[in-house]
Structure 1
Amino acid sequence: MSIPPGVLEALLPRQNRPKPTPLASFSGGVQDVTTADSDVLYNKYDLLCPRPECGSIILLSSVGKLLERPSVTMEPADKTPSQLPSLPEPPANTEWWLITPSPMEFENIGFSKPVDLLSSQDGKQLKLLLCAQCDLGPLGWCEVGGTEFWLSCSRVGYRVD
């Protein structure tokens, strides 16, 4: 039995992983990571898993639309993963990347089961978005069965190289 070409290489650790740059590293904040098309601001860079050891590409540039909207509590305040910044408490606003109309717009994203304790403003259950490669999250959220997927601008990395 022979191993098909490329299989062993695919299983070995990647040497040239993209390096995620956190939003906090940009002096102009979210304005430094956007590009304008008409009156709409899009992500200027590929969005990456923020974990430096991972760097998986989550979304290609110019796919996510920048919007400001109320924050969402995605985990208990004392349970924020140490590698992810805390989000402001609702109803405070924060910046989000909106991805529509389907999860097929992503390069690599994972979804939680519906989270019983979380619901949208109209009572629909939410699923949390996470890195499909290493399971770091929550990076964002979506309504169950919805067509809008929201990534926190501060919880993803940016590929600037």
Structure 2
Amino acid sequence: MSEPATSSTSASEQIPPGVMEALLRPSTNRPSSRTLESFSSGVTDVSMTESDFQVNKYDLLCPRPECGSIILRIGVGKLVEKPSVQMEPADRTPALLPPMPEPPAATHWWLVAPSPMEFENIGFSKPLSGDAGPQMKLLSCAECDLGPVGWSEVGGKEFWLACSRVGYRA
């Protein structure tokens, strides 16, 4: 019986020159985004009427300028005004994200339902333990982990993005 042939080259030697460097290089054609506060009429400028309710008029993006990952496509999020949610301590808000109003102050949210499959690119935290009420998970950019940009109840079918914490491709 003959011995099976073995290759003396490794996998890295089979990759053409420059391919690994190109794969590891950040994309230079990231979509640019605007913050909600840059629109003169706020949520009115970033929403449009569809079937008797307001939806997102633009793709929603990660607000980190170096990222710009698409989080949600046009027309998927329903605009809802409801009480703010404490997603992190006020003194621990990431520098790139505006602070949320103190609950129960009202704020604007993009409601995404009935499944997380509606998102293009979203990450979920581990369940947070709270003092009262249902457990929640925080939402972040799945590409760069910037967040929280929103929240959902553990096992729920509604996902809430803070209108002020996402970018808009306008």
Matches of 1:147 and 1:9, distance apart in 2: 39
Paired residue for 2:111?
98
Q: 1:124 aligns with which of 111, 134, 137?
A: 134
1:41 corresponds to 2:41: no
2:85 is matched with which residue: 63, 72, 78?
72
Name the counterpart of 1:136: 146
Equivalenced residues, count: 157
Q: What does residue 156 of structure 1 align with?
A: 166
Q: Identify the structure with the greater strand proportion.
A: 1
Corresponding position of 1:19? 32
User: Distance in 2 between the 1:34 and 1:138 partners?
Assistant: 22
Q: Which amino acid aligns with 1:143?
A: E
Q: Specify the SS of the correspondent of 2:99.
A: coil
Larger Rg: 2
Which consecutive residues of structure 2, in runs of 5 or more, have no partner in the other structure? Answer: 1-10
In the alignment, residue 22 of structure 1 is paired with which amino acid? T
The two structures have a TM-score, normalised by structure 1, of 0.92
CA distance 1:148–1:100, shift in 2 (3 Å): same
User: How many angstroms does 1:118 deviate by?
Assistant: 6.7
**By how many angstroms is 1:36 displaced?**
0.6
Once structures 1 and 2 are overlaid, which stretch shifts more, 109-118 or 91-100?
Answer: 109-118
Label 1:35 to 1:9 Cα distance change in 2 as closer, same or farther (>3 A).
farther
State how far apart, in whole Å, the 2-side matches of 1:70 and 1:91 are.
5
Report Cα offsets for 1:6-25 as digits up to 9, x if no partner: 77644321010001210000
CA contact (8 A) 1:129 1:142 kept: yes
> Would you say 1:115 and 2:97 are equivalent positions?
no
Distance across 2 between alignment mates of 1:118 and 1:136: 25
1:35 deviation in Å? 1.0
- Name 1:3's counterpart in structure 2: 15
Q: Unaligned stretches of 5+ in structure 1?
A: none
- Give aligned-pair identity as a percent: 66
Deviations 1:90-122 (A, max 9, x none): 111100000001110000000000011376xxx
- Between 1:141-150 and 1:110-119, the stretch displaced more is 110-119
TM-score, normalised via structure 2 length: 0.87
Q: Distance in 1 between matches of 2:66 and 2:131?
A: 30
CA RMSD between the two structures: 1.7
CA contact (8 A) 1:118 1:125 kept: no
Instruction: Give the alignment partner of residue 28 of structure 1, picking from 41, 51, 54.
Output: 41
